[in-house]
Structure 1
Amino acid sequence: MEVSNDNHHHIQLKETVLVGKTLVAFTSVFVTQGVLLFGYDQGVMSSLLTNGYFQSYFNNPSPVEIGTMIAILEIGALFSSFAAGKIGDSIGRRATIRWGALIFVIGGSMQTFSFNIVSLSIGRLIAGVAVGLLTTIIPCYQSEISPPDDRGFFACLEFTGNILGYASSIWIDYGCSYIESNWSWRSPLLIQVIIGFLLFLGSFIIVETPRWLLDKNHDLEGMIVISDLYANGDVEDEKAKEEYRQIKEDILISRIEGGERSYHYLITRYTKRLSVACFSQMFAQLNGINIVSYYAPMIFESAGWIGRQAIFMTGINAIIYILSTLPPWWLVDGWGRKPLLLSGAVFMCIPLTIIAFSLYANNEYTANTVVVCVFVFNAAFGMSWGPIPWMMNEVLPNSVRSKGAALSTATNWFFNFVVGEMTPILLDVIRWKTYLIPAVSCVLSFFCVYLLFPETKGLTLEDMGSVFDDSSSIFSFHSSGNVGYGSTDERRASISVDGTSDIFHQSAASIARNPNLMKPDFDGIITGTPPPPVPTNPSNLHVPHPPLNRAGSGNNLNNNLKPIKSDVSSSSASIDGLNPVDSNVPPQEIEPPTFDEIYKYKVNQMLEPNVITKAWFSLVGRTKKSDEEAPFIH
C-alpha cells in the first residue's frame, strides 16, 4: 500500500491488473474480436462460393439459394439487434457480449458440420443472431469506455479489426482451397468457432462500462472502473472524480426529465440524433460495399479472373482494404467525421461508375480496369463509410444509447439483407447496370451528410446535445458561438472568492438545477420551447420540469431519481426535494464515493469468496481472508 499522507492520495484500488491507457487499449482491441467475427463470416462465404468441393457438395446452388443463404445472416442480426438494446440495458454490455459470443459458437459449429444448404442456412441464421448482439453492443461499449479525444481512434481501430477478419477469411479460404476434400470449405468455417470461443472466455475478464454501472446505481464499482480507465487506478485522482461527476450528472438530468427509455421517446425526442445514426448505416450498405465484400470473386470471374485467380485477387483487395482503414485512426479525431464521409462518397462513386461502363464495354482492358476500380472503391470505403457509421452511436444520449444503437444497427442489417439478397439476382438480370445503383446512392449520401450531419469530433458523450440543439441541450455550441461553454472542463463549477457561483465555469447540470441561475429571459432560445414557470415557494421547488407519472398526473420523482451524496447535504438543495432550498448557498457538485467507502466495499468484496475460494477454504479449514490479505491494494 502506497500512502503519501492522511488524505490517501495516490492509492490504487484496482479492479483489474491493467490500468489507464493500457487497459483502454487492451479492452478495445480484445472486444474487436466481436466485429472481427462479423468480418470473417462476411468474407468466408464469398470465397467458398467458388470452391469446387463446396459447389459439388451443395449441388451447385442457384443464385436465389446463394442469395438467401448469404443474406439470412442479416435476418438473424436484424431481429437480434432490436433485442440487443433492451438486453444491453438490462444485463450490461459485458454480459451481452458474452452471450453473443456463445451463440456465435453454436451457429458457427452448425455451419462447419452442415450436411445440406438448409442446415448451412440455419447455422448462418443463428450466427446472425449473435452478430446482431455483438455489432450493436460492442460499438456502445467502445464509445462508453474511450476518452473523448481518442474515441474516434478506437472506433476506427475496431473497424480495422472487422476488415482484418474479412481479409483473414479470404486468405484462409485461398490456402484451404488446396485441400483435396470437403475440409477445404469446412476448415475455414471451423476457425470462426475458435475465435468466438476466445471472445466468450475473454468476456469474463473485461470491465463493465462505467456509464452502465452508474446508471444502475453501482456507484462504487463505477468509480473504481473510472479510475482504472482514466487515472491508473487512483480513486483520489481529480480527473477520475470529474469524469464521475459528469456521467452522473447526465444520468440524473435524464431521470429528472422523466427517466423515459422507450423507443417512442427516443424517436420523438431525439429525432435528428437518431436520423444521423440510422442514415449513416443505411448509406454504408446502399453505397455498395457488400456487393464487393460478398461477391468479389464472382465479380472478378465476370471480369475474366477465373477460379483460384479470383480468390487470389480478392485476397489482394482485402490487404489494400486493411491498409485503407489505418489513416482514419488519426484523421477521424483531427480532420473530423464529416469531411471523411463527404470525400468517401465522392471517391466511391467514381470507381463504381467506371466498373459499370467497363463491364458494358467488355474489351481487353475490362479485367484490369475492374480490379483497379474495386481496389480504389474498397480503399475509399475503408477510410470513410466503413468505420464512421459504427461510431455514430456516440451522438445518442446515455439513457437511450443502447436502444438507439439497436435501431441504427437494425438499419444496417436490413439494408445489408436487401443488398445481399438482391445482388446475385441483379448481376444475373441487369449485369453491369447493377453498379450504377450504389453509384447513385453515393451521390445521395453526399448531400445527406452535407445537410444533416454535424461535426462531433472532440466532444464528450454528455456534450453531444450541444450540437443538435434538441431539448436535452442546456447550452449550445451553435447558439453560444462556442464562447464560454466550449468543453466540460471549461464549464465545471467553481466558486468565486466572494462565495458566489461563477456561471461561466459551472457544468450544465449544476446550472440546470440551481434556481439562482435560472434566467427566464433566455429560456427557449436554444430548445425553442420555453419551460413552465418556476415555483416561487422554495419549499415546493423540486426540479425545473416536474415529470408526470404513468397515470398522467402527480409528481413521483423518487421513483425515477435516487438521492446521491450531494443531494442530502445540509448545504445544498436536493434534486429530489429531500431538503429545502437555501437561495443563499451556492449549489454543490455531485461528489463521487469517498476513499473510505470504496476501501470498505473492496474489503467486503474480497471477503466474500467465490466458488473456487470456497472450495479452497473448506480444504484448509478457513472461512475468510483477513483485511491484510486483500491483494487489490497497491
Structure 2
Amino acid sequence: MSYEDKLVQPALKFRTFLDRLPNIYNVYIIASISCISGMMFGFDISSMSAFIGEDDYKNFFNNPGSDIQGFITSCMALGSFFGSIVSSFISEPFGRRASLLLCSFFWMVGAAVQSSSQNRAQLMIGRIIAGFGVGFGSSVAPVYGSELAPRKIRGFVGGIFQFCVTLGILIMFYICYGLHFINGVGSFRIAWGLQIVPGLVLFVGCFFIPESPRWLAKHGYWDEAEFIVAQIQAKGNREDPDVLIEISEIKDQILIEENLKSFGYVDLFTKKYIRRTLTAIFAQIWQQLTGMNVMMYYIVYIFNMAGYSNNANLVASSIQYVLNTAATVPALFLMDYIGRRRLLIGGAIMMMIFQFGVAGILGKYSVPVPGGLPGNPTVTIQIPEDNKSAARGVIACCYLFVVSFASSWGVGIWVYCSEVWGDSASRQRGAAVSTAANWILNFAIAMYTPSSFKNITWKTYIIYAVFCLVMAIHVYFGFPETKGKRLEEVGQMWDENVPAWRSSSWQPTVPLLSDADLAHKMDVSHKEEQSPDAESSSEEKP
C-alpha cells in the first residue's frame, strides 16, 4: 500500500470538513487568497532589508559581520527549500488547501519567534520556521492557480503570485519605514510581529476556497471536479462548451495516468520527464541568478555605495519597491499576449545591460573605503559626495533593472514552472523540486552577497550580468512556449521533441481532439452518465 493510499480516510475527513463551508468561485479572488503566500515572502524581504543597516538592529544582535548577516538573511530560503520538498507529501494526499493551511501556520509561528528574538540563534530559528511555510506556499500556490484558471487567462492568474510578492515588499517596506523612527528594539520587533497578519488572512481564507478540480478528478471525485470547473468557467453551467472541453481533457489525462505506477520524485528524472524537469529547475535557478534578490535584500548596501545614507537611503529604496510593484502589472497581461519566451528573453537582455551599467559606473567613479563605511564594514567602496551624476546613474540603473525583472522573469517563471509539466502526475512534485532549486540558490546568494560586496565590490554585478546573457541563450534553445496551450498539449509537445524555437507555431496533432470534437465527446459522455442504466451502475470513489 502506497503512502497516499494509507492517508485516504484522513484526507477524506479533512476535505469533508473544509467543504462544509461556502466556497468562493471567482478565480481572481481564489488566486488572490492562495497567493498571500507570496506576500509573506515579500514581507520578509522588506522586514529584513529595512533594518540591517539600522543601529538598533546591529547593536541588539552584536553587530553581525558579513558572513553572519548573510546566514541570518538566508535562513528564510533554507527553510523554504525544505518546505518545498515536503509540500508534495501533503499536497498530493490531502489537497492543495491543506498545504496552504500549513504554509500559514508555519509562517505565523516563525513570525512570532522572530518578533520575540533574544539573540541571533532565535532569530535564525524563527526565519527557518517561517521559510518552511513559505516553501509550502511557493510550491503549491502557482500550481493551484494553473489548475483552476481557464487557459486563456492562465498567465494572468498565475502571475498574481509574483504580484503579491511585490505588493508584500512594498507594503512592508513603508511599515518598516514608519517604524524605523522608533528608538530601540521595538522598531524591528513590531515589524516582524506584524508579519503574522497575512498568515492569519491566508489561514482563514483557505476555508472558503474550493479544492483543485484536477486534484479531485485524480482522486475519483468527478462530480465535484465538474461542479467546480462549471462554477469557475461558466457560473455553474455544466453544458458550457469550455466546461465540457476542460472536463474531457482532465478525464483523458487521468485515464492515461491510472495505468502508471505511483509517481515519485525519482520519476522526474526518467527519460520521459528529464528534459522538462531540468528546464523547470534551470528556470528557477536562472531567476535567482538574475541578481534580483541582491537588489532587494541588500538594497541598503547598494545605495550606501552610491553615497546615500540614513533616511535618504530608505527613501531612495522605497522608489525601487514602488517600481517593482507597478512594473509587475503589465507583465500579467503581456504573458498571455506576447508569450512566455519573448518576455523572458527580452527581460534577460535588458537586465544584462543594466547590471553592466551598475558595474561600469561603480568601477569607474567609486573610491575604496578601507575597513568599510562607519558601522558597515561590508561596504568597502563609495562614490564621492561631489559626484552626484555618477550616484544618480547607479540608482537609475538599479531602478531600470528592477523594472526589467518585474515585467519579465519576476512573473514569468512562477507561471512557466506551473505549466511546463504537461500532466497532473508530475505537476506537483515537479513544481516542488523546481521551487526547491529556487530556494537553495536564494540561500546561497543571500549568504554570498555580503562577502562579495566586501571582497570584489562592483565586480559582483558583472557576474550577474553574464548570467543574464547565458539565461537568454538557454531560453531561446531550451524553453518551449506554453502560451495558450492546454496543460495536456504541453505534455504532447515534450513527447514529440518539438524544438523550443519552433514551439510557438506548433499545433497539436493526435491524440488530442479539436475544441469542437472534445465538446461533442464530453456532451455525449455526460448524457450517458445521466441515463438510468449509467446511474445504477456508477459508484463514487470513497
Question: TM-score, with normalisation over the residues of structure 2?
Answer: 0.85
State how 1:542-621 maps to structure 2 within 5 Å. Answer: 589=525, 594=530
2:91 match? 88
| Change in 2 beyond 3 A, CA 1:478/1:45 | closer
1:191 match? 194
2:413 match? 389
Task: Say whether residues 1:36 and 2:61 are aligned partners.
Answer: no
CA distance in 1, matches of 2:70, 2:453: 11
Out of 342, 345, 353, which is 1:342 matched to?
A: 345
CA distance in 2, matches of 1:434, 1:487: 48
CA distance in 1, matches of 2:316, 2:362: 17
Percent identity of equivalent pairs: 31
1:261 match? 263
Q: Deviation at 1:75?
A: 1.1
CA distance in 2, matches of 1:350, 1:486: 44
CA distance in 2, matches of 1:186, 1:204: 30
1:358 match? 361
Q: Deviation at 1:167?
A: 1.4
Task: Say whether residues 1:117 and 2:120 are aligned partners.
Answer: yes
CA distance in 1, matches of 2:93, 2:74: 29
2:492 match? 466
Out of 221, 230, 247, which is 1:244 matched to?
A: 247
State how 1:507-522 maps to structure 2 within 5 Å. Answer: none
CA distance in 2, matches of 1:366, 1:275: 41
Higher helix share: 2
| Change in 2 beyond 3 A, CA 1:248/1:346 | same
Out of 49, 63, 68, which is 2:66 matched to?
A: 63
| Change in 2 beyond 3 A, CA 1:65/1:272 | same
| Change in 2 beyond 3 A, CA 1:591/1:180 | farther
- Please say if residues 267 and 274 of structure 1, whose CA atoms lie closer than 8 Å, have aligned partners that are also in contact: yes
CA distance in 2, matches of 1:299, 1:591: 65
1:439 match? 465
1:158 match? 161
1:320 match? 323
| Change in 2 beyond 3 A, CA 1:592/1:448 | farther
Out of 285, 305, 309, which is 1:306 matched to?
A: 309
Deviation digits for residues 83-121 of structure 1, max 9, x if unmatched? 112221111101110011011100010001111111011
- Please say if residues 82 and 436 of structure 2, whose CA atoms lie closer than 8 Å, have aligned partners that are also in contact: yes
Q: Secondary structure in 1 aligned to 2:495?
A: coil
Q: Deviation at 1:479?
A: 13
| Change in 2 beyond 3 A, CA 1:484/1:417 | closer
| Change in 2 beyond 3 A, CA 1:375/1:488 | farther
1:430 match? 456
CA distance in 2, matches of 1:183, 1:481: 58
Q: Deviation at 1:303?
A: 1.3
Mean CA deviation greater in 115-124 or 354-363: 354-363
CA distance in 2, matches of 1:100, 1:128: 9
Segments of 5+ residues of structure 1 without an aligned counterpart are 1-13, 496-505, 508-565, 567-587, 605-634
2:17 match? none
Q: Deviation at 1:276?
A: 2.0
Q: Secondary structure in 1 aligned to 2:349?
A: helix
- Please say if residues 493 and 508 of structure 2, whose CA atoms lie closer than 8 Å, have aligned partners that are also in contact: no
Which protein shows a greater Rg? Answer: 1
Mean CA deviation greater in 104-113 or 244-253: 244-253
1:136 match? 139
2:12 match? none
CA distance in 2, matches of 1:409, 1:282: 9
| Change in 2 beyond 3 A, CA 1:592/1:307 | farther
- Please say if residues 245 and 591 of structure 1, whose CA atoms lie closer than 8 Å, have aligned partners that are also in contact: no
- Please say if residues 82 and 135 of structure 2, whose CA atoms lie closer than 8 Å, have aligned partners that are also in contact: yes
| Change in 2 beyond 3 A, CA 1:230/1:259 | farther
1:53 match? 56
Q: Secondary structure in 2 aligned to 1:351?
A: helix
Q: Secondary structure in 1 aligned to 2:63?
A: coil
Q: Deviation at 1:238?
A: 4.3
State how 1:360-509 maps to structure 2 within 5 Å. Answer: 360-361=363-364, 362=366, 364=387, 365-392=389-416, 393-396=418-421, 397-470=423-496, 482=507, 489-490=514-515, 492-493=517-518
1:549 match? none
- Please say if residues 15 and 225 of structure 1, whose CA atoms lie closer than 8 Å, have aligned partners that are also in contact: no
CA distance in 2, matches of 1:16, 1:485: 40
- Please say if residues 15 and 224 of structure 1, whose CA atoms lie closer than 8 Å, have aligned partners that are also in contact: no
- Please say if residues 481 and 504 of structure 2, whose CA atoms lie closer than 8 Å, have aligned partners that are also in contact: no
Deviation digits for residues 595-629 of structure 1, max 9, x if unmatched? 999x99xxx9xxxxxxxxxxxxxxxxxxxxxxxxx
Tell me the amino acid that sits aligned with residue 398 of structure 2: V
Q: Secondary structure in 2 aligned to 1:104?
A: helix
Deviation digits for residues 379-409 of structure 1, max 9, x if unmatched? 0000111111111221112111110001110
Task: Say whether residues 1:226 and 2:229 are aligned partners.
Answer: yes
- Please say if residues 84 and 132 of structure 1, whose CA atoms lie closer than 8 Å, have aligned partners that are also in contact: yes
1:575 match? none
| Change in 2 beyond 3 A, CA 1:486/1:171 | farther
CA distance in 1, matches of 2:311, 2:219: 53
2:203 match? 200
Q: Deviation at 1:467?
A: 2.4
Question: TM-score, with normalisation over the residues of structure 1?
Answer: 0.73
| Paired residue total | 492
Tell me the amino acid that sits aligned with residue 101 of structure 2: R
- Please say if residues 173 and 318 of structure 2, whose CA atoms lie closer than 8 Å, have aligned partners that are also in contact: yes
Q: Deviation at 1:43?
A: 2.1
Q: Deviation at 1:470?
A: 4.8
Tell me the amino acid that sits aligned with residue 232 of structure 2: L
